[in-house]
Structure 1
């Protein structure tokens, strides 16, 4: 049964450690931004960050010096442009060098599925004809034992900890989310430990059309963090803060502006 923890700080302290492989998942919706900020506040270091679509929360984690490596399939400030703290780390090793492991969206999704299924790798056709196998060591050719077809294998992802945001959980730790969901379920099931931040904890989960329910046995801990997805949105609770994403471009471009933002918004 998932533990209901009294605070986000307690959750991160107990579940996220230096050197961990950490996945924060959510596709434009229900992104666990508050949890990312708490990781920064607790000054976790040498993390391998995993995310299909690293956006501004990963820009912030990288700029704050939390990351050693990034495993991903696309990175950017959605609707705006580049991630400048990410670029600075790759191009100038500021504040630290960043190792990259790049995959396709399909490759990352299938890696999570393999991890959730207890399998060592996933097989797909999608890398054929691309340059990714030449730059990513975790993309390997494999021959189908039944047809002889040449396919591609990618290793399972089993994060030390997966963190997601959801709309609700009950007091037993069953988690309910709906709307636009990505690989949250697979990322949680693949992980050794998991933390779900939620908009609210309720006595009973009211059914919602198209809902996804993660049972308490699949979740390590739950923390109530209203607004924990901001500036992304939580369907039924909040809307996307487009202005925030636009303003982030100027903050992320300048090291001094970023450090000022860290002091005022995250550490302050």
Structure 2
């Protein structure tokens, strides 16, 4: 059953050096507050997993938290590159970064297989690409019914999945709505999970299209108002487009980034 605790307590108890950690959220409900707390607590040697790494992973990579990134697209949405990711992968600063690249469909199938307790997922994909030659989590299988050759992708079972949601009740049941991406699958696939929320309420009123994560499927819930900023939380606040644009200038320069990082971790 989910335990409601502070964000500091949750990260300290759930995220350890060397873990594989998935912070999911597709343009919406991105768990920035949790990522910043991981930076503050000085976690290192993490394998970061995310379909679309953007600013939060650029920051975590620049802070030296990660040794590997598993992903299917990376960038500052609508702005440009992730300069801290490029610096780590290309120049080993602040530490070397290994990349494992997939397609979006491949990542979704990996999460789905992990959530279902299966060893791998199957899809029509990767044909005509050289990704399987460089990625040992992609293989081919022949359909036992038609003989068709298909791609097989190894299931993803992160040590920790972290997502942000609009609200939870006092029993730890979580409700999120809007663009929900693969948050549900990531939580169900993970060995441990943390959900940060805008608020805890007495009753989860029905919302059209909402996803419900039951308390028994979640390890911890932490209240973090504004925890998705500068991304947005449907029904709570809008995306801060200026922050995404500003990050491009901060992240381009090591000294400027280091000053930003020092301010983030300052007591």
2:105 counterpart SS class: helix
State the TM-score, normalizing by the size of structure 2. Answer: 0.99
* Deviation, structure 1 residue 267: 3.1
Tell me, in whole angstroms, the C-alpha distance in 2 between the residues paired with 1:261 and 1:243: 16
- Runs of 5+ in structure 2 lacking a partner? none
Tell me, in whole angstroms, the C-alpha distance in 1 between the residues paired with 2:265 and 2:181: 27
| Map of 1:161 onto structure 2 | 160
| Deviations 1:201-246, CA, capped at 9 Å, x for gaps | 0011011111111000000000000000000000010100000000
Alignment of 1:8-157 (within 5 A): 8-157=7-156
* Deviation, structure 1 residue 134: 1.6
| Map of 1:2 onto structure 2 | 2
- Runs of 5+ in structure 1 lacking a partner? none
Tell me, in whole angstroms, the C-alpha distance in 2 between the residues paired with 1:150 and 1:266: 50
Q: Tell me whether 131-140 or 230-239 shows the greater mean CA deviation.
A: 131-140
* Deviation, structure 1 residue 130: 1.2
Tell me, in whole angstroms, the C-alpha distance in 2 between the residues paired with 1:29 and 1:229: 8
| Deviations 1:20-70, CA, capped at 9 Å, x for gaps | 000000000000000000000000010000000000000000000000100
Q: Does 1:216 align with 2:215?
A: yes
| Map of 1:186 onto structure 2 | 185
Tell me, in whole angstroms, the C-alpha distance in 1 between the residues paired with 2:256 and 2:146: 57
Aligned length: 267
Q: Please identify runs of 4+ aligned residues in structure 1 that moved more than 3 A.
A: none
* Deviation, structure 1 residue 3: 0.3
* RMSD (CA atoms): 0.7
Q: State whether residues 40 and 264 of structure 2, in contact with CA within 8 Å, keep that contact through their aligned partners in structure 1.
A: no
